């Protein structure tokens, strides 16, 4: 039995382009509304500690403007927790964050940071927010997510997508096998399985064939494609790729 597959569109890089000039355009909220109009099931935005793309008021405006679930990505810090609780998004995805990284490089260290993360998962869950942990596709991380009582994990697809991009098929297959095994194992342990980072049409199609995957969160590629074909067309092509993949689910 395969579950329906949702597409969350990450609008961070609309804000990256806006911030290049410091004015109000292009507005990530406008992009979110256009994405929903084009078939996105939800909107994801990452309020980074250095505010390099999404700003605090973007989160508030997204929450007020959109009719679909808002997935608030954040590092587990007290300041972010306060903002998330005030925003009351549908979901929070806890991610590791380093100031020097260009993008989220790896998964959360749920095992090493168990005691630190526990109150975040607990408090957000008690406030009715669905908590997701962005993790490496490993059994250990999945077991830790179960113990900490996170209902959802997002499997980091970045290493796989990078291996595909640089043309390293051996590495790519090994990374994909880790994702496939993690999706099956995690779902078996009762976790809702999401996946994201670095996905394009081809990798999204392939990961969509994993029947346990319930949601993909995709940003950079879609915003880049929008330059050439428009956001609505990029989203509709992505949805098609996901449906093609899901039709191959085994």
Whole-number Cα distances in Å, 53 to 28, 71, 168, 228: 10, 16, 31, 22
Task: Report the nearest approach of ligand PXP to the CB of residue 203 (Å).
Answer: 10
CB atoms within 10 A of CB 192: 18
Mark 27-65 as b/e (b = at least 16 C-beta within 10 Å).
Answer: bbbebbbbbbebebbbbbbbbbeeeebbbeebbeebbee
Q: Is 192 designated active site?
A: no
The one catalytic residue in 154, 197, 215, 225 is: 197
Q: Is 154 in the site for ligand PXP (CB under 6 A)?
A: yes
Q: From 166, 167, 250, 170, select the one nearest 207 (Cα to Cα).
A: 250
Task: Report the nearest approach of ligand PXP to the CB of residue 1 (Å).
Answer: 25
The one catalytic residue in 46, 53, 156, 194 is: 46
Q: Is 218 in the site for ligand PXP (CB under 6 A)?
A: yes
Footprint of ligand PXP on residues 46-65 (CB under 6 A)? 46
89-91-96-98 Cα dihedral, nearest 10 degrees: -30
The one catalytic residue in 73, 154, 175, 225 is: 73
Asked whether 155 and 165 are in contact (CB, 8 A), the reply is: no
Q: Is 140 designated active site?
A: no
Q: Is 212 in the site for ligand PXP (CB under 6 A)?
A: no
Q: Is 211 in the site for ligand PXP (CB under 6 A)?
A: no
Binds ligand PXP by CB under 6 A, chosen from 58, 73, 97, 175 = 73
Q: Is 42 in the site for ligand PXP (CB under 6 A)?
A: no
Task: Report the nearest approach of ligand PXP to the CB of residue 157 (Å).
Answer: 8
Determine if the peptide bond prior to 26 is cis (ω within 30°): yes
Q: Name which of 1 and 150 has its Cβ closer to ligand PXP.
A: 150
Q: Of the ranges 16-24, 135-143, 216-224, 225-233, which one interacts with ligand PXP (CB under 6 A)?
A: 216-224
**Residues 6 or more apart whose Cβ sits within 8 Å of residue 21:** none
Instruction: For residue 73, list its beta bridge partners.
Output: 46, 93
Q: Is 87 in the site for ligand PXP (CB under 6 A)?
A: no
Binds ligand PXP by CB under 6 A, chosen from 62, 76, 104, 241 = 104
Q: Distance between CA atoms of 233 and 17, rounded to whole angstroms?
A: 20
Q: Distance between CA atoms of 157 and 57, rounded to whole angstroms?
A: 29
Q: What are the catalytic residues?
A: 46, 73, 197
Residues that bind ligand PXP (CB under 6 A): 10, 12, 46, 73, 93, 95, 103-104, 134, 154, 196-199, 217-221
């Amino acid at each position: 039995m395969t579950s329906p597959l949702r597409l969350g569109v990450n609008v961070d890089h609309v804000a990256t382009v806006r911030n290049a000039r410091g004015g109000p355009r292009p507005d990530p909220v406008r992009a979110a509304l256009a994405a929903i109009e084009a078939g996105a099931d939800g909107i994801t935005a990452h309020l980074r500690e250095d505010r390099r793309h999404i700003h605090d008021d973007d989160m508030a405006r997204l929450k007020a403007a959109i009719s679909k679930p808002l997935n608030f990505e954040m590092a587990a810090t007290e300041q972010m927790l306060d903002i998330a609780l005030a925003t009351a998004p549908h979901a929070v995805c806890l991610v590791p964050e380093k100031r020097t990284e260009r993008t989220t490089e790896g998964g959360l260290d749920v095992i090493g940071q168990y005691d630190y993360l526990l109150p975040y998962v607990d408090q957000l869950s008690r406030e009715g927010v669905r908590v997701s942990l962005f993790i490496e596709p490993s059994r250990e991380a999945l077991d830790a997510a179960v113990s900490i009582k996170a209902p959802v994990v997002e499997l980091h697809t970045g290493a796989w997508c990078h291996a595909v991009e640089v043309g390293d098929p051996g590495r790519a297959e090994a990374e994909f096998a880790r994702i496939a095994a993690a999706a099956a194992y995690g779902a078996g342990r009762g976790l809702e399985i999401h996946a994201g980072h670095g996905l394009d049409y081809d990798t999204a199609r392939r990961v969509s064939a994993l029947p346990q995957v319930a949601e993909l969160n995709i940003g950079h590629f879609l915003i880049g494609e929008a330059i050439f074909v428009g956001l609505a067309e990029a989203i509709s092509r992505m949805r098609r790729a996901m449906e093609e993949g899901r039709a191959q689910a085994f």
